[in-house]
Each structure stands twice: as C-alpha cells, then as structure tokens.
Amino acid sequence: MVTWTQMDHGTKADYEMLGKLYTEHTQGELIENMVTLLKIMEGPKMGYQIDRYQHSLQSATRALRANESLDMVVGALLHDIGDPIAPQNHSATAAAMLAPYIDDETHWVIKHHGLFQGYYYFHHMNGDRNARDVHQEHEFYESCVKFCQNYDQNCFDPDYPTLPIEDFIPMMEELFSRESRVPGVAPLGMTADIHIN
C-alpha cells in the first residue's frame, strides 16, 4: 500500500507496484465484467421477439458460422455492450471499450454500426436511410454494411439456433489476453485513454 494520499508524492517503485496490482485485478475480472454487461440486457424484449442478450449471442453465432475472424466474432458478441450504460451513444461506447484489443476494421464497424443500421429503419422515422453514405469512401464501409446486413439487422429471430455464452468465453479469453494497443502505457495501469478514429 502506498504511504501517500496524493499522486504527486508517488515514486517510480510505487507506480510499478500499483501498475502491477491494477493490471492483475482489471485483467482478472475483465471477461466476467463484459459478460455481466451482456447479461444486464437479458430479460426485457422492449417490443422485439428476443432480448438484447439473445440478440448479441445470435450476432456472434452468425459471425462465427460465417467464418469471420476472432475480432469480428467477439466484436459481434459485444457490439451492443454500450447499450446499458450509454443508450444515446452505444456504438461509440462499445468501440471505445474494445479499442485496445480489436483490429481497426472491427473497431470501425462497431463504432459506426448504429448509423449503418439506420438503413433498415431511418426512412420510417422521417430520416435518411442512406445517412451511412457519408462514409462511402471509407475502406471499411462495405464491411460495416455487411456486418449490419448479416450479423445485426437479422439477429432478432427467436427460432435461430443461437449458441450459449459459454461457447464464446475461450474466444474472449484469447482476445482480451492480447497486449493492449496502447504501447508502453497500459502495462503500468492507470492508462492514458486510447483514441482511434
């Protein structure tokens, strides 16, 4: 335990000790906490035929069965994880949470999936279903179109044979055990935030 009560009294040794404990603790509970966030969405269907927990599992199951990458499968599982804590900004929130671990393509897809999902319903709400086309020149535009088409807008089916969460835990363990993409900072804990456009 440190002897001080304010950070500007800390030494290199203090921060090495704190960093080690921080990393051990946060890494140790990370997957459990991600699953907890998913399970928070279990229950209320809010007008759909399945809840958002089953929607998330169905998204990941479809991505897995389509032989998508580990990043995309876990990304599909967690693409709506921002919902319970940031309902007005759920795509960007999920993307930011996963940014240290996932590849650029999956990060971009998750960050923009809310806008791209609008293709399926914005026009019913006096909006522009093609609002996504502001990103038409982006290298991951087609990937996000495909994600929403195949792993999101169609994942509300109560009869689809969706895999249970247990099947995805090993994939989450592999993904979240990766070294953070924040070089030289994250291993000390108390990280600077990552920012990827």
Contact status: 80 vs Fe ion (CB under 5 A): yes
Cα gap 119→113, rounded to integer Å = 10
Contact status: 57 vs Fe ion (CB under 5 A): no
Which C-beta is closer to Fe ion: that of 57 or that of 172?
A: 57
Contact assessment for residue 176 and residue 4, using Cβ atoms and an 8 Å cutoff:
no
Choose among 166, 143, 133: nearest CA to 63: 143
Contact status: 68 vs Fe ion (CB under 5 A): no
Contact assessment for residue 116 and residue 144, using Cβ atoms and an 8 Å cutoff:
yes
Could you give phi then psi for residue 80, rounded to 5 degrees?
-110, 15
Which stretch, 39-47, 67-75, 77-85, 136-144, contacts Fe ion (CB under 5 A)?
77-85
Which C-beta is closer to Fe ion: that of 145 or that of 182?
A: 145
Which C-beta is closer to Fe ion: that of 71 or that of 152?
A: 152
State which of positions 132-161 bind Fe ion (CB under 5 A).
152
Extract the tokens encoding 60. Answer: 């990941």
Provide the binding-site residues for Fe ion, judged by CB under 5 A: 80, 152
